[in-house]
Structure 1
Amino acid sequence: MTPTVFITGATSGFGQACARRFAAAGWSLVLTGRRAERLHALADELGTQARVLPLVLDVRDRAAMEQAIGQLPPAFSTLRGLINNAGLALGTAPAAQCSLDDWDTMVDTNIKGLLYSTRLLLPRLIAHGAGAGIVNLGSIAGNWPYPGSHVYGASKAFVRQFSLNLRCDLQGTGVRVTNLEPGLCESEFSQVRFAGDQARYDALYAGARAIQPEDIAETIFWILNQPAHININSLELMPVSQSWSNFAVERA
């Protein structure tokens, strides 16, 4: 049976790269995204390689998620993989200066959207059984604090703990759960965070040899194709150019 993977946030970055990687391997794809034109263009591109079902959805919209997932056609109804990729960071200002609207958006997308897709698709993953898997896109920001990370980092710490807790609840089902925690990656993610400021984007990645979306897609493909008795609990990865800095000390 052709395996099926459900990918949220498929219209750019990691999600788009994952769609291309899994399509090249012959997997059937259920792809979600808010931008209809981009989503349908990707579905048309990959339709020559694999069966593709595009769903124009915002993961924050619980009712829309319930309706779309409840009406998945039989050919896409049993899933082997779920890639919870939809997520974002907004702004880098200190907590006392940032926008509450931005905080709401990050919580609604990074936490609640991930919860909706996971809960609604769990029965389909459990129906597949051994070999099925969930990959949640966490971040090193969920493990390591830095200025301006506040709600974004906290939301990724939630993803980390939720992933570990899911492992407990899914024991005996054969369904695996991985929290993938990338460091510096070059993608549209940073353009969104910097509100389209191309100069800041270019400065962030200049000379850094950052991780690329294709690197993440290859890693996720590897995770979901491990032998059915292997679970990668969490995987943190950075470019070689990135490491940790000293603790900050305020001096009188």
Structure 2
Amino acid sequence: MIVLVTGATSGFGAEMARKFARHGHRVIAAGRRKDRLDALAAEIGPALLPVVMDVTDRTSIQSALDKLPADWKEIDVLINNAGLALGVAPAQQASLEEWETMIATNCKGLVTITRFLLPGMLERGRGHIINISSGAGAHPYPGGNVYGATKAFVDQFSRNLRADLVGTPVRSSNIAPGLAGGTEFSNVRLKDDAAAAKVYEGTTPLSAADIAETAYWIATLPSHVNVNHIEVMPTCQGFGPMNIKRTPSAN
């Protein structure tokens, strides 16, 4: 099987590349940071093809796909992993530029590469789109605003793909991780390594390996089985009361 993983330069993406390659599959590792991709290719060997791609740029996606060697073009599994969160400010104070970057990466990039690859999957009679969203797509929290909204979009897009693809051999799945450590997620979001470390202080979060294991399991189920949506949380995470702002009593 040929698997294309976006956002493969670190975290979930790099670990998914390792997981699939370790089990005998060929992996196209896509991302913006060539040095990281080259290091991953040196680690994994000929089972991995590094491809520089910026998912926020339609031309970059098209060019990268067009330049794939002939024997790498028939992609069986697309894992739309590229994504990010930026900031935790309330909506009225948030950066519009950061909102636009999240929408461009988490939504626009995901649908663009999906649209490029989906027709070929249908023509070949096989294929699987696996999208990586977040528990934030279902569970709002202060400061989640546009990040949570983009991940809700990913979930709904995945379900609508399933509606469009019913009766075909092409599958559509969505993985929604909860608290996950060992990645660059919080460092990028908070732009402060010390603050990022505090997010996971005293917890045992999910690891990138946990999400790679989930993606691999979904992709290797029998071809008639479609996992529509799977939400994964560590045991240290759960649900709490809704956020209520109380005004101090005048007495």
Task: Tell me the TM-score normalized by structure 2.
Answer: 0.95
Q: 1:72-111, aligned counterparts within 5 Å?
A: 72-111=68-107
Residue 190 (structure 1) aligned with residue 203 (structure 2): no
Aligned equivalent of 1:209, options 204, 213, 220: 204
Q: CA deviation at 1:203?
A: 1.2
Residue 10 (structure 1) aligned with residue 5 (structure 2): no
Deviations 1:21-70, CA, capped at 9 Å, x for gaps: 0110111111111111011111121115x2x2211111011011112213
Aligned equivalent of 1:57, options 53, 56, 63: 53
Please state whether the residue corresponding to 2:104 is helix, strand or coil. helix
Residue 117 (structure 1) aligned with residue 113 (structure 2): yes
Distance 1:214 1:224 in 2: 15
Between the aligned residues of both structures, percent identity stands at 50
How many matched pairs? 246
Q: CA deviation at 1:127?
A: 3.4
Aligned equivalent of 1:23, options 21, 29, 33: 21
The 8 Å contact of residues 28 and 50 in structure 2, kept in 1 or not, is answered as yes
Distance 1:247 1:220 in 2: 31
Structure 1: tracts of 5 or more residues without a match: none
Residue 229 (structure 1) aligned with residue 216 (structure 2): no
Please state whether the residue corresponding to 1:32 is helix, strand or coil. strand
Superposition CA RMSD, Å: 1.1
Deviations 1:74-127, CA, capped at 9 Å, x for gaps: 211112111000000001111111111100100000000001110011123223
- 2:153 paired residue number: 158
- 2:36 paired residue number: 38
Structure 2: tracts of 5 or more residues without a match: none
- 1:199 paired residue number: 194
Letter in 1 for 2:145: H
Letter in 1 for 2:148: G
Distance 2:16 2:59 in 1: 26
Aligned equivalent of 1:175, options 154, 167, 170: 170
Distance 1:7 1:250 in 2: 42
Letter in 2 for 1:45: E
Q: CA deviation at 1:219?
A: 0.6
Letter in 2 for 1:8: T
Distance 2:223 2:243 in 1: 44
Residue 238 (structure 1) aligned with residue 233 (structure 2): yes
Residue 148 (structure 1) aligned with residue 146 (structure 2): no
Please state whether the residue corresponding to 1:30 is helix, strand or coil. strand
Distance 1:89 1:35 in 2: 18
Distance 1:201 1:20 in 2: 25
The 8 Å contact of residues 79 and 128 in structure 1, kept in 2 or not, is answered as no
Please state whether the residue corresponding to 1:97 is helix, strand or coil. coil
The 8 Å contact of residues 84 and 134 in structure 1, kept in 2 or not, is answered as yes
Larger CA deviation: 79-88 vs 118-127: 118-127
Task: Tell me the TM-score normalized by structure 1.
Answer: 0.95
Please state whether the residue corresponding to 2:92 is helix, strand or coil. helix
Distance 1:127 1:221 in 2: 24
